[in-house]
Amino acid sequence: MSESGILLKVDDLHIDYHPRNQLAVHAVAGVSFELQAGEVVAVVGESGSGKSTLAAALIGLNAANAHIAAGRIVLAGQDVTHASERQWRALRGREAGFVPQDPGQSLDPIKRIGAQVAEALTVHGVAARDAAQRALEILAEVGLSDVRRVAGSYPHELSGGMRQRVLIGIGLANRPPLLIADEPTSGLDVSVQRQVLDHLERLIHERGIGVLLITHDLGMAADRADRVLVMRGGKLLEAGPTRAVLGAPSHPYTKTLIGASRRGAGAGHVVARRPVHEAPILVVDQLVKQYANASAHVAVDGVSFAVPRHGTTSIVGESGAGKSTIARILMRLDVPTTGSVRFDGEEIAHLRGGALRAFRRRVQVVAQNPYASLDPRFSVEAIVAEPLRAFDEGDRRARRARVAELLESVGLPERLRDRPPQALSGGQRQRVAIARALAIRPDLVILDEPVSALDTAVQSQILALLRRLQDELGVSYLLISHDLGVVREMSDHVVVLRGGRIVEQGPTQGLFEAPAHTYTRALLNDTPGRRHASPWPEEIRA
């Protein structure tokens, strides 16, 4: 293609971080590539490989302590390597849209969703009245239903997946020729992933937009990308057409990623689980949650299930199905309208004072969003040790030793213990959150999308860790996930949720091998890597 068809050109880019009183960290080291109109280029690699630093630089959003040490970035024919913020404001949104990884930090918590989408339009000259109507259309385009209710909501009133779709809509609002998407579907279930990515494909075909897709999901890259760039330690190790890179990788690291992706997908097997004969540790009976707003929205409608003692129940379903609402009720962070929740035989609605504290000692959570759930004022060590201090476990020396043990168990190096969470990658933050939840050895852990921010290699490590801890400690898990590979690998029992209601539930093997409901079959068919047109070769397809 001619030079005029190049939307983005990166030439020998080097980006360093300069932490206070520490040596510079080389986050991106000599990366070069081009992106043409009408193509999708996927950047893959493990957490901390430099993918998100690269994406931030390409849209002028690098952290304050990040510095472009060498190289060049050319966007829409302009050299923007050292562009001012004023120059970027004119380009950002119009020439290049951006979908950040974290909806919790990227959406204004005190502004309604419709106003935030409209603002992305008005900043580039769209009249306010037109922007309000267009905002509704944008929300519908990214797969949200009841868009007027969504537009009138605040971010905290939406699920994580719904917030992520709002960000995708904002990124596409001004119809830019280039979209830079940093893990744009990591919080979405597989059916909504397909809807959003199908929408992007239509834009590519209709308007010739180019997409730079930052992802740890090799199945998604195989399904959707024309070319793949493999990064590790800030360096570009391998690049080329998707079929060539994923079908016949030349670098050992790429082969490792592919192997981890196959294992992480849980392809063709259910991990053998020991039979559980004891009474369930958690029983949910006819749970209903109705919000008293104008539409009397029913988020959870007559849900019943159990979590086996020393076992795992998983809840799957599309974004907005009620999964996170159920998790909040089980943690006593919200109250049901009707229904019962019994933990170890005791109704939790009546717990007060010391009994409630004892319950929270035995039930911990790994939240969906590691950016919002970690206190930015604390170091990694202080965050992980927080439950130990709260429940007065051990002295200072014992807590330090326990923190070191936990960091090692979740694959975090010792040098990170004094860092604040904002100095970590998304995947590293999620590992900190898992370490914190396991610190006091709870009886039940609610895992709300615990590995959605992690690359496949680290997913395998964390899932193996969770299984080992379950075997060693007898901990029970309630797993909320849109990743069916993770669900299949981890679960004894699966609950399929849609629109706040259970459409199907049963033992894992039976549900995956012979799903009874059409919705369950649709979820299985939408799993990345299973599309018929996928370039993912049969011998490595998950």
Q: Above 90 in pLDDT, residue 74?
A: yes
Same domain for 301 and 196: no
d(CA 30, CA 15): 9
- The DSSP element (H or E) to which 120 belongs, if any, is helix 113-122
CATH number, residue 54: 3.40.50.300
Average pLDDT for residues 82-103, to the nearest whole number?
89
d(CA 367, CA 434): 9
Cα of first residue to Cα of last residue in the chain, in angstroms, is: 33
Same domain for 339 and 227: no
Average pLDDT for residues 71-100, to the nearest whole number?
92
Average pLDDT for residues 62-72, to the nearest whole number?
91
The residue to which tokens 């998100």 are assigned: 52
Report the side by side order of strands in the sheet with 476-480.
363-366, 444-448, 476-480, 312-317, 493-498, 501-507
Closest alpha carbon to 143 in 116, 115, 162, 117: 162
Quickly state the pLDDT bin for 4 (edges 50, 70, 90): low
38: tokens are 């009408």
Quickly state the pLDDT bin for 460 (edges 50, 70, 90): confident
- pLDDT of res. 204: 80
Q: Above 60 in pLDDT, residue 382?
A: yes
- What DSSP letter does each residue of 484-501 carry, written as one string? HHHHHHH-SEEEEEETTE
Same domain for 369 and 224: no
- pLDDT of res. 72: 96
d(CA 418, CA 379): 5
In this structure, is residue 344 part of a structural domain?
Answer: yes
- pLDDT of res. 336: 92
Q: Which amino acid is at 182?
A: D
Average pLDDT for residues 57-74, to the nearest whole number?
92
In this structure, is residue 221 part of a structural domain?
Answer: yes
Q: Above 70 in pLDDT, residue 478?
A: yes
Same domain for 215 and 306: no
In this structure, is residue 3 part of a structural domain?
Answer: no
In this structure, is residue 23 part of a structural domain?
Answer: no
- pLDDT of res. 291: 81
In this structure, is residue 10 part of a structural domain?
Answer: no
485: tokens are 């590979």
Average pLDDT for residues 183-188, to the nearest whole number?
74
- Domain finish residue from 233, 264, 295: 264
Same domain for 296 and 247: no
- Domain finish residue from 264, 295, 330: 264
Q: Above 70 in pLDDT, residue 540?
A: no
Write out pLDDT tens, residues 481-507. 888 888 998 999 999 999 899 999 999
Write out pLDDT tens, residues 210-256. 999 998 888 889 989 999 999 999 999 999 999 999 989 999 999 88
- The DSSP element (H or E) to which 505 belongs, if any, is strand 501-507
In this structure, is residue 276 part of a structural domain?
Answer: no
Percent of the chain residues past pLDDT 90, beyond the cut: 51
Write out pLDDT tens, residues 127-152. 888 999 999 999 998 878 889 999 99
Write out pLDDT tens, residues 388-410. 999 999 899 999 999 999 998 88
pTM of the model: 0.70
Same domain for 441 and 320: yes
Same domain for 214 and 131: yes
Same domain for 383 and 452: yes
Number of neighbouring beta carbons within 10 Å of residue 180: 28
Q: What pairing do the DSSP bridges indicate for beta strands 6-17 and 66-75?
A: antiparallel
d(CA 467, CA 52): 29
Residue 468 CB contacts under 8 Å (≥ 6 apart), including other chains? none
Q: Phi/psi zone of residue 383: left (φ > 0), alpha (ψ -120 to 50 degrees), beta?
A: alpha
Average pLDDT for residues 200-210, to the nearest whole number?
82
Domains identified in the chain, total number: 2
Same domain for 365 and 310: yes
Closest alpha carbon to 35 in 95, 120, 84, 110: 95
- pLDDT of res. 453: 67
For 185, the domain range is 36-65+82-264
Same domain for 297 and 181: no
Same domain for 327 and 255: no
Same domain for 260 and 290: no
Average pLDDT for residues 193-221, to the nearest whole number?
83
Quickly state the pLDDT bin for 527 (edges 50, 70, 90): low
In this structure, is residue 536 part of a structural domain?
Answer: no
Write out pLDDT tens, residues 301-352. 999 999 999 999 999 988 778 888 899 899 998 889 999 999 999 999 889 9
d(CA 170, CA 218): 25
Sign of the C-alpha dihedral computed for residues 530, 531, 537 and 538 taken in this order: positive
- pLDDT of res. 314: 96
d(CA 274, CA 268): 19
- Looking at 61-65, 98-102, 159-163, 239-243, which range is the least confident one? 159-163
- pLDDT of res. 407: 92
- pLDDT of res. 528: 59
Q: Above 90 in pLDDT, residue 98?
A: yes
Quickly state the pLDDT bin for 2 (edges 50, 70, 90): very low
CB 211 within 8 A of CB 41: yes
Quickly state the pLDDT bin for 533 (edges 50, 70, 90): very low
- pLDDT of res. 106: 84
Average pLDDT for residues 359-372, to the nearest whole number?
84
Write out pLDDT tens, residues 255-297. 888 877 765 554 444 454 555 557 899 999 999 998 876 556 7
- pLDDT of res. 126: 86
In this structure, is residue 415 part of a structural domain?
Answer: yes
Closest alpha carbon to 486 in 371, 327, 316: 316
Give the mean pLDDT of the chain.
86
CB 195 within 8 A of CB 224: no
Q: Above 90 in pLDDT, residue 11?
A: yes
CB 99 within 8 A of CB 37: no
Closest alpha carbon to 317 in 443, 479, 537, 133: 479
**Phi and psi dihedrals of 232, rounded to 5?**
-155, 130
Q: Where are the alpha helices (DSSP H) in 336-425?
A: 353-362, 370-373, 380-390, 396-409
Q: Above 60 in pLDDT, residue 3?
A: no
Write out pLDDT tens, residues 162-183. 888 899 899 989 999 999 998 8
Residue 499 CB contacts under 8 Å (≥ 6 apart), including other chains? 301, 321, 322
Quickly state the pLDDT bin for 119 (edges 50, 70, 90): very high
